[in-house]
Structures are given as structure tokens and as C-alpha cells.
Structure 1
Amino acid sequence: MIVCLAGPAAPRIGTVAFAQSLGAGQGAPPPAVVVEKVKVQQVRSPARFTARVEAIEAVDIRARVTGFLQAVMFSDGQAVKTGDMLFEIDPRELDASVASARAQVTRAEATRKSAERALARTRDLFARNTVSRAALDDAQAAFDIAAADVQVAEASLHKAELNLSYARIAAPISGTIGRATFTVGNLVGPDSGSLARIVSLDPIRVSFAITEGLLVTLRQKGAGGSAIDPNALQLSLHLANGTAYGEPGQIEFVENEVDPQTGTVAARAIFANPHHILIPGQFVTLSVEERNVPDLPVVPQAAVLQDREGRFVYLLGPDNTVSQRRIDTGARVGSGWAVTTGLSGGEQIIVQGIQRLADGMTVQPSEGQPVGGGT
């Protein structure tokens, strides 16, 4: 039995024609067939995935000190750079804390110097046997305590100065800032939540999941099963409105484990986003294909037959005789098959009338409709 592969899901079933035994002895004309020249073309078979856009960097801006919001220094949706000032909290109370801490340092320094002088006098008197060892020990302890108090005061001053610096909140990353959740005059602090959110939009990340079968194929085509070469793949996006995204992408990361529940592997790609068309949370269709697309012969599906030994086509010889040619097919290309082995391009194959053929039969070829009817 021979199967005619007219379509991927509904093959036509025919029998091998014994036309030569039927027509040769009765003087019947050779059967009419339609032939077509095998064309060679680039065979693209991209794998498509539903992917989600993510920001590479995202930061929630929060207040680190408590105070009344004095200024908001940006517009909602504005592009900001690292170091740009965003908010200012009323610094007067924090200034006062710095001044108080600085005074404590001065006071502690004075106490330490007094204790140092007292210790020096006590050592001199002890050398003259005028005071006891206990008095010397007490003077040494007083000096040590005074020196420690200086360190405590200096630490308090540093903390007060640090808190004062937190009154002006700058952008930690470059990106686009959202709306301010608090306006001038509101009391904000560490428990107030996010004051605004910054997301980086250029470049941007696209996350997706690939099947383990495709991952194995990509690794086999790469460096003998090792990491995937990102330069060997071509990535493109289609947006929700059906248009193609103009910037190419590159694989950034492929997870090192397969999710046993889904049979997929998490992966990420990076795309340039200079016009901010892509935004975090957006769904897109990602196409992944080899960058160096092979040129392969392509034959119509209707010309391909299959039996127990595999797939084959009928070729037209120079004397209008047909011969069977075994082929291996690859990806679907429109209404045809890409042929990986068996054809090189330029051959004349039978595309109509194939069910009446046998190897070595003489036919009447034409490139239009066959003489006397269809298939």
C-alpha cells in the first residue's frame, strides 16, 4: 500500500497502479501527468512561544527617615538617571539632631581631655609615692571612659548626618519613574510604603519557557551538548496588535533544570527598547530560529508518497519515464515539505497523476493541467 501525503493530517490512500500491464497491450496512450521543477529556498521553521516582558531592573523608592514631604522633583512617567533628585523631606528636625550630636562630640572631647590631664597628674604623683595605686587606677578608668564616650558621640553624629542625607532621595537606577504615591505635605517614613517605582526599559528582558525537546535539539546543534550559543539563534517578537517588533534579541539565560510538572525550561532574552514600545507585564510572541537558515529543496505535499520503507517522489526522466526517488523530509514550508536528503534541486517531479504510476513507466508530462483530466 502507498500513502499520498497530500496533507499533514489526512493522507490520501491509493494503490500502486499496474498501468503498464493494463495499457501496453491495448495500445492505450501513456498516462498524463503534471510535472514541476524542484525549487531550492531558505527553509525557516521558527519555534514560537508566548513570552512576558520584564524589567531588568526595578526599584521601589522608600523613605528611610520620618518627616513631612517638602518637595517632589519629578513628573509622573518621567525618564530619570542615576543620582537625579526625586523627593525631599523637611530637613529641619534632622538638622537639629546633627547639631545636638555635634555638641555631644564637643562635650565628650572636653571630658576626655580633662581626664587625660588628671591621669597625667596622678601618674606624676604616683611616681613620687604621693598617691596610691588605687588612685592611679581610678584616674586611668576615668580617662578610658571619657575616650569611649567620645567614640559614642562621634557615632551618634555620623548617624545623625546619615539621616540628614536621607532627607534628599535620589534615583538609584536609570529608567522611567511612575506616579508619586504621596504629595507635598504628607508625613512619610519607613512604614509608608513605596513613594514611587522606577523600572529600566532599555534594554528590556523577555521571559519564556522552551520545551525540553527543543532545548536538546539546540544543544546538539551547538557545542556538542554544552551551553547554547546565543549568536547562533535569531530572536524576533510579534506584538499584541499583530505587528513585528523591529529590534532583534539575544538569549541571556537558560535555566539548568527542567520543570518536571511542565516539561519546560525557563529562559530569558534581552531586547533593545529605545522607543519604549515594550513595557513590563506585556505579553508578546517570541520566535526563535537558527541564524544561518539552510537552503533546501522544497516539494509540494501532494507529490510525496509513503510506504513501509518511508517517503518518496516520482522523478521525470529525459525519455518521459518516471523513476522512484526516496527522500527524507524536514520542516513544513507553506503547502510543501523541505527535503533534507534525496533531492538537490532542479529535478522534475510528478505532482499530479502520481497514483497511476509505477517505477519505469512512460508518461505524457505537462506543466499545466494533465491531458484528459486530473489526478
Structure 2
Amino acid sequence: MRHTIPVSLVIIFGFLTGCGGKEEAEAPAPQVFVQEAQMIEYNPVGSFNARLESRNEVQITALVSGELQAIHFEEGRVVSAGDPLFDIDPSSYAATVASYDAERLRAKSTLDNNRKTLNRALALIEDGYISQSEFDQIESDVNTAAAQLRSAEANLERAQVDLDHATIRASTTGRMSRSNFNLGEVVGPDSGPLAILIGGNMMDVIFQISEAAWYRATQNGLEDDSLSGAADVELVFSNGDVYSEVGYIDYIANRVNESTATVEVRATVPNPNDTLRPGQFVTARLTSTATESALVVPQAAVQVDQRGTYVLEVLRDNTVSRTNIVTGQRLAENVVIEEGLEEGALVIINGIQRVREGQEVSVKIAGQE
């Protein structure tokens, strides 16, 4: 008995078998844009958290004791060197000066009389009118009176210094803090600062660099006598503004901080308009004045995953290879490659998401039509 196969099944079967008869056409290699890793010349830049200090910060203290009688400055205002700041009651010190001055006058008068007696004794002893022992006593009296005069003069000088210290003057031009004491209070050497004077138009910038960074600097020839020309120092405020004046490094500590493995560095920055204040925190941005060579690639080529930082490199056979790298400073749209790549390597900067490691790609140089 013959069986009849429905036409519809024959059509379906033929369609399926026909599709498997030819191989599917291969998809074209994905196109990527690449750029060469290039050597360039640049000036290294580093940024560090820093604080500002004044090398001319003067703590105004009392060198003598007494009642505070006058405050001559306006708090927060600028004073000039030599301006009076505080007056301490000078009456007791003026009396002491007067007393020692009178003692000096008495000692001088005694010495003058004894010298006259000595001059007369010189003639008398030659004629035998006085004995040698009497002459020796007269000469001793002159020496004693001279010593008493020197002592009186020293006491007077010391008393005058105390009297002068009753008026406290500014040692330099600068801006005053508020006064820590009020009129009528008794102050003295143990009272602590009466006020603080911030002087000068230069400000110190204190920051720390790593031990490794310091070692690299020494390997590049940095020496103590070339510190001022080693780098330009810019200050960046918390809002991103850059300070108008540029400073220079003038000190590097002579030892490494054992607890932080850092070296203290100090830069000096002009402060002509009194913009900077001690205690302020800024970012110190150092630009080396020495030019260095570096291998760079576009920042767009650099990728990061759990295995680290890498780029996708196109090899000579147009296949993609993952290359792990160590990056350094960023320079505009580029980034410095410290380890992992060689000059001339082709790295993918566009089309990274469309390819995988080991895949063959169609290469186009970025920027070329």
C-alpha cells in the first residue's frame, strides 16, 4: 500500500535541508581606531596637600611685670616696625633708673676725689712726706672707687633696659592679632603672648613628599644648592582657584619621617597683598623646571578592571591583545606609561567595547580619513 506524504511537509523538509546546504557568510572584522604610544618631552607635575606658615610670626610677650596701661594698635590691622604696641606701668622702673643714676654720680664723684688725692700723693711720696703703705692705700681707694662706678653704671644700664621694656614695640612690619589682655591687667614674662604679629610679605608652604619621590629627585640630580630652581610652586585653593604668585622650594628636611615614610619640604611664596594666612590649607602644585622624556598614550585607551590597569593593543597580525600597564602623571588628554608598553605600540582608543582579546580587527589610525 502506498502512503501519500502531504505537500506541505515536503515543502518544509526541503526548505530545512536547503538551508543547511551552504555555509553562512563570515561577519567582517570589527573596525577599531588606534593610536601609537609616543615619546614626548614634558615637565613633571606633582600635587601635594600643604599648609601655610609664616616664618615671621612673632609672639609679643612682656619682658617686665606690671599693670597694662595702654594698647596702641587696632586688632587685625597692620603695624610698622618700631610702632608702640603695649605700655606697662613704668613708674617703678623709672624710679629704679633714677636711684641707680644717683648711685653712679656718687661713685663718679668719689673716684674723681680719690684720683686727685692720688695725684697729690705721687708728689708727696717722692719727697718722703708719706710712707709707701699710705701711698698704696690711696691707690687702692682709687681702684675701689673705679670698681664701684662700673657696678653703678651696670646697674643703671640694666634698670634702663627694664624701663625701655615697659613699652613694647613691633619688631617688624606686619598684621596684629587681637590682644589677649585688657587694660588694667597685670602682665609679665610668665603671662604668655600678649598678641601675635604676622610679619613680612613671604609665606612658607609646608608639605610632605614620599620617600620614593625624594629618591627619584636625587637620582635626577637634585642637590641642596639647586633647590630654588628645581620646581615652580603654585598654590591651588579649595575652590580650584590658582594663586597669582609663584614660589620656589628653599628647604628639604635632612631626614625621613619614620612613621610616615615622607620627607618634609618647604617652599616660599610671595604674599604682597596679604592674601595668604598662616594655618591655611592649600594644594601645592609643583612643576619641575627640568624636562623629562615619557611614553604616553591617550587617556581613552586606558581601562581598569579587577585584574588591574590595561590597554587593548593591536598586534602585527591585527589581533587584539590585553597589555597590563603602570600609569603615571596625566598630561592633558594623555597619560604617562611607566611600565608595560613600548614606543610605537598601537592601542585601541575607539571601539574597545566591540572587541575581545585574541579577535582579529580592522585597524584605522585615529585622525586619518
TM-score tier (shorter): 0.7 to 0.9
**Superposed displacement of residue 36, structure 1:** 4.1
- Matched residue, 1:274: 272
Quote the Cα distance in structure 2 between the aligned partners of 1:329 and 1:190: 59
**Superposed displacement of residue 145, structure 1:** 0.9
CA contact (8 A) 2:252 2:264 kept: yes
- Matched residue, 1:184: 183
Query: For the structure 1 residues 337 and 143, does the alpha-carbon distance in structure 2 shift closer, same or farther, using more than 3 Å as the test?
Result: closer
Which consecutive unaligned segments of at least 5 residues does structure 1 have?
A: 1-24, 305-309, 369-375
What is the alpha-carbon root mean square deviation over aligned residues? Answer: 4.0
- Matched residue, 1:286: 284
Structure number with larger C-alpha Rg: 2
- Matched residue, 1:16: none
- Matched residue, 1:158: 157
Instruction: Report the number of matched residues.
Output: 334
Quote the Cα distance in structure 1 between the aligned partners of 2:108 and 2:366: 106
1:314 corresponds to 2:310: no
Quote the Cα distance in structure 1 between the aligned partners of 2:171 and 2:128: 64
**Superposed displacement of residue 95, structure 1:** 2.9
Query: For the structure 1 residues 104 and 356, does the alpha-carbon distance in structure 2 shift closer, same or farther, using more than 3 Å as the test?
Result: closer
Query: For the structure 1 residues 345 and 275, does the alpha-carbon distance in structure 2 shift closer, same or farther, using more than 3 Å as the test?
Result: farther
Report the residue type matching 2:328 in the other structure: A
Report the residue type matching 1:301 in the other structure: A
Matched position secondary structure for 2:47 = strand
CA contact (8 A) 1:76 1:178 kept: yes
Deviations 1:180-208 (A, max 9, x none): 12233333332332221112363111212
Quote the Cα distance in structure 2 between the aligned partners of 1:211 and 1:192: 41
CA contact (8 A) 1:33 1:365 kept: yes
Query: For the structure 1 residues 120 and 339, does the alpha-carbon distance in structure 2 shift closer, same or farther, using more than 3 Å as the test?
Result: closer
Query: For the structure 1 residues 64 and 337, does the alpha-carbon distance in structure 2 shift closer, same or farther, using more than 3 Å as the test?
Result: closer
Deviations 1:72-124 (A, max 9, x none): 11011111222222122333433333332222222112211221222233333
1:355 corresponds to 2:353: no
Deviations 1:294-333 (A, max 9, x none): 68642333589xxxxx9772179xxxx7378999764264
Matched position secondary structure for 2:284 = strand
Q: Identity percentage over the alignment? A: 29
- Matched residue, 2:16: none
Report the TM-score when normalising by structure 2: 0.74
Report the residue type matching 2:245 in the other structure: E
CA contact (8 A) 2:319 2:358 kept: no
1:191-340 to structure 2, matched below 5 A, reads 191-200=190-199, 202-223=201-222, 229-291=227-289, 292=291, 297-299=296-298, 300-301=300-301, 313-314=313-314, 322=318, 330-331=327-328, 333=330, 337-339=335-337
Quote the Cα distance in structure 2 between the aligned partners of 1:227 and 1:94: 50
Query: For the structure 1 residues 56 and 133, does the alpha-carbon distance in structure 2 shift closer, same or farther, using more than 3 Å as the test?
Result: same
Deviations 1:114-145 (A, max 9, x none): 21222233333332223322211211111211
CA contact (8 A) 2:320 2:357 kept: no
Report the TM-score when normalising by structure 1: 0.73
